[in-house]
Amino acid sequence: MPESLSQPDAAPSRHGEPLLQVNDLQVSFKTDDSRVRAVRGVSFDIYPGETVGLVGESGSGKSVTNLALMGLVPSPPGRVDGGSVMYDGKDLLKLSPLQMQSIRGRRIAMIFQDPMTALNPLMTVGQQLTEMTRLHLGLSRRQANEKAAEMLELVGISGASRRLRDYPHQFSGGMRQRVMIAMALSCEPDLLIADEPTTALDVTIQAQILDLLRELQERRGTSIILITHDLGVVAETCHRVLVMYAGKVVEKSDAGPLFASPQHPYTQGLLQSLPRFDQVQTTLRAIPGQPPDLGNLPEGCSFRSRCPLAIDRCAREEPPLASVGDRREAACWVAEENANG
């Protein structure tokens, strides 16, 4: 039935305490011939009840940033080189693996792009759902079963108590993604990190899943980090947006202003290169060239070889994130100068 598209409500007020504060996060990976600096000084805050979109090219450091928050950077070859992740008065990067385990799944949960890699094919969906709540919430077997059925119902899987006995392969792609969401939400986390949760799904199923996340957020005030390469999905679900390029956040803004007047030349290029569903263009304005090799970054701004606005300074000095408006920041010499005169 036609319904007005549920939009993210006006951004929840960002007053009060942030739920999570990431400060100058640095992560690198050792490769045969170099050290790849995958995340190069990323900082951002997440407030209660908000959805923050993380966009950027593949390899720009989105997933690694979030793996670091969860204490899941594979090591070796990976290494967190610096920074802090403050949550509940503690720096998550300093917790022991055991302490981190009690936060992961319980307070901060993650859903992955490919549900099959995260679900155990040899365990029933019920076993996997109850394992979490028994471990983290100390529920009895019966309570855990009831909770599991309730969660499946919540994510829109009918005949829930029967389906608990099914194995993951007996579900379709969209349903598996919902099972993942049910698992992630069963301990009522404060923060949900969703890494490309709908990329593998079709648009009609994607719409169902995004609606579901929005409803759950409204009901429980969960904060969400949504990693996606789909700017349409960002426009329809996120309050705030972080744009990443070559391991850095290059633009930070509320969603509305970002789409209305992007400040960083990369964000501008991205939005201009999109074919529009609602209008016909003759040629797309593609961004020329390719993203740089993280193991061998050029001096100065990492976007320079593709940037139409580059000036001399860009070749020498790497621009820091700087204020370019109300609650807006961009890492670009030209944008900063335009904003601040």
Partner 1 sequence: MDDTSTNTPLLSVRDLCVHFPFSRGSMLRPEHGVIRAVDGLSFQIAQGETLALVGESGCGKSTTARAIINLVHPTSGSVRLRGVEIAGLSDREMMPHRRVVQMVFQDPFASLNPRMTVGSIIGEPLAVHRLASGKDRKLEVLRLMDLVGLNPRFLNRYPHEFSGGQRQRIGIARALAVQPELILCDEPVSALDVSIQAQIVNLLMDLQQKLGLSYLFIAHDLSVVRHIATRVGVMYLGRLAEIGDAASVYAHPTHPYTEALLSAVPVPDPVLAATRQRIRLEGEVPTPDRQYVGCSFVDRCPIAVEKCRHDRPPHEPVAAGEPGHTAACWERT
Ligand X SMILES: Nc1ncnc2c1ncn2[C@@H]1O[C@H](COP(=O)(O)OP(=O)(O)O)[C@@H](O)[C@H]1O
Residues contributing to the site for partner 1 (CB under 8 A):
1-5, 7, 57-58, 172-175, 200-208, 211, 229-236, 255-256, 259-260, 269-271, 273-278, 280-281, 283-288, 290-291
Choose the stretch contacting ligand SF4; rule: CB under 6 A; options: 170-178, 197-205, 231-239, 304-312: 304-312
CA distance linking residue 312 with residue 304, whole number of Å: 10
Quote the least distance from Cβ 289 to ligand SF4, whole Å. Answer: 12
Beta strand 322-325 pairing with 35-46: unpaired
User: Any idea which residue has 């076993």 for tokens?
Assistant: 127
What single-letter amino acid sits at 213? L
Instruction: Report the partner that residue 232 touches, choosing among partner 1, ligand X, ligand SF4, none (CB closer than 5 to 8 A by kind).
Output: partner 1
Quote the least distance from Cβ 215 to ligand SF4, whole Å. Answer: 27
Whether 185 and 179 have beta carbons less than 8 Å apart is answered as: no
Nearest residue to 121 via CA among 76, 86, 169: 169
Q: Which residues of 11-25 are buried (b: 16+ CB within 10 A; e: fewer)?
A: bbeeeeebbbebbeb
Quote the least distance from Cβ 200 to Mg ion, whole Å. Answer: 12
Helix axes 173-185, 203-220, angle to 10 degrees: 10
- Based on CB atoms, which residue is closest to ligand SF4, 168 or 265? 265
| 38 near ligand X (CB under 6 A) | yes
Instruction: Report the partner that residue 1 touches, choosing among ligand X, partner 1, ligand SF4, none (CB closer than 5 to 8 A by kind).
Output: partner 1
Nearest residue to 266 via CA among 317, 210, 316, 334: 334
| 36 near ligand X (CB under 6 A) | yes
| 113 near ligand X (CB under 6 A) | no
Strand, helix or coil for residue 143: helix
Nearest residue to 135 via CA among 93, 96, 183: 183
Instruction: Report the partner that residue 117 touches, choosing among ligand SF4, partner 1, Mg ion, none (CB closer than 5 to 8 A by kind).
Output: none
| 241 near ligand X (CB under 6 A) | no
| 253 near Mg ion (CB under 5 A) | no
Q: Which residues contact 119 (CB under 8 A, 6 or more apart)?
A: 125, 128, 168, 176, 179, 180
- Based on CB atoms, which residue is closest to ligand SF4, 301 or 324? 301
Query: Three-state SS across 17-59?
Result: CCCEEEEEEEEEEECCCCEEEEEEEEEEEECCCCEEEEECCCC
| 319 near ligand SF4 (CB under 6 A) | yes
- Among 310, 321, 324, 328, indicate the residue that binds ligand SF4 (CB under 6 A): 310
- Based on CB atoms, which residue is closest to Mg ion, 54 or 314? 54
Site for ligand X in 277-336 (CB under 6 A): 294
| 63 near Mg ion (CB under 5 A) | yes
Provide the binding-site residues for ligand X, judged by CB under 6 A. Answer: 29, 36, 38, 56, 58-64, 74, 77-78, 294
Give the footprint of ligand SF4 on this chain (CB under 6 A): 265, 301, 303-304, 307, 309-311, 314, 319, 332-334
